[in-house]
């Protein structure tokens, strides 16, 4: 004979309580939050897919890499990985002494190849796409309080094997939107003229590239890795002439970016303000 319904419930009650406790976990009180905290997201990395949208979506969802967002050429934005989780987009990356960046960054992949074009095709980024990227970066940076100088390209954080988003990516659009800093042209001109008269040595160049954020050895020898870093640097700050040469203009831009009064942020159509990085840029050279 089956026990009465109420009796069955009494027998099951202890088991149900145990299961409920296990499901809920420990009781935690959150009514005393610490003021000493910020977002785990400290960096935002912009990539170019170098393949078309369909292939990008397949690779980023079922391949061995991923990204938080994918932006198609028509401006459509696809969320692939929640911001609270780590995406596998930056590999053995480094910026300003932090490595790797996957645990502390958000990755945005921008489709750089038009439909039907072969892998690696260079093509201008359409305005609807750049507008979407601009809005997405503005939203992410605001929510996570990402510093403007920590919005970087994939090539900057992994220059030994990457150059994307490449010389055609319009960083100037992000400058005009007040999202990232730009070198002050007066400071650039001042340093350029000084370097035309008295060029600095290779070790100075490497130290300044390190202070700007790159992972680099300061050996005093202008080697292949130094040229590669300089090529990536020019792709962002002087895209009209990317040759990897340490000419006075390139050196002037670099010196402005690492000097206390050399950075500025756009505040309006005609307005600018100085940006002082805290802590100030400092060289973190790798041992030769």
Residue pair 93/100 in contact (Cβ under 8 Å)? The answer is yes
Radius of gyration of the chain (CA): 24
HSE on the CB side for 253, CA within 13 Å? 14
HSE on the CB side for 9, CA within 13 Å? 3
Measure the CA dihedral 249/251/256/259, to 10°: -160
d(CA 53, CA 65): 15
109 assigned to active site: yes
Active-site entry in 50, 96, 109, 207: 109
Q: What angle do CA 231, 193, 197 make, to 5 degrees?
A: 95
Active site members: 109
């Amino acid at each position: 004979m089956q026990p009465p319904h109420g009796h069955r419930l009494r027998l099951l009650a202890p088991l149900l309580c145990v299961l409920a406790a296990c499901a809920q976990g420990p009781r935690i009180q959150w009514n005393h939050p610490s003021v000493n905290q910020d977002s785990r997201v400290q960096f935002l990395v912009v990539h170019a897919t170098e393949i078309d949208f369909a292939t990008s979506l397949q690779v980023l969802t079922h391949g061995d890499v991923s990204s938080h967002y994918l932006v198609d050429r028509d401006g459509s934005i696809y969320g692939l990985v929640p911001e609270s989780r780590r995406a596998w987009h930056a590999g053995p990356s480094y910026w300003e002494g932090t490595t790797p960046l996957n645990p502390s960054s958000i990755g945005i992949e921008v489709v750089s190849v038009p439909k039907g074009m072969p892998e690696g095709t260079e093509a201008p980024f359409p305005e609807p796409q750049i507008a979407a990227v601009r809005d997405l970066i503005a939203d992410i940076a605001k929510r996570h309080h990402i510093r403007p100088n920590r919005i970087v390209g994939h090539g900057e954080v992994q220059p030994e094997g990457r150059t994307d988003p490449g010389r055609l990516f319009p960083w100037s659009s992000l400058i005009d939107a007040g999202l990232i800093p730009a070198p002050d042209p007066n400071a650039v001109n001042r340093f350029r003229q000084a370097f035309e008269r008295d060029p600095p040595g290779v070790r100075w160049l490497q130290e300044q590239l390190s202070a700007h954020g790159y992972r680099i050895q300061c050996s005093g020898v202008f080697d292949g890795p130094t040229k590669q870093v300089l090529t990536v640097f020019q792709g962002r700050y002087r895209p009209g002439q990317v040759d990897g040469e340490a000419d006075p203009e390139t050196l002037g831009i670099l010196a402005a970016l690492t000097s206390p009064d050399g950075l500025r942020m756009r505040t309006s159509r005609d307005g600018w303000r100085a940006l002082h990085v805290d802590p100030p840029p400092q060289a973190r050279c790798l041992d030769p």
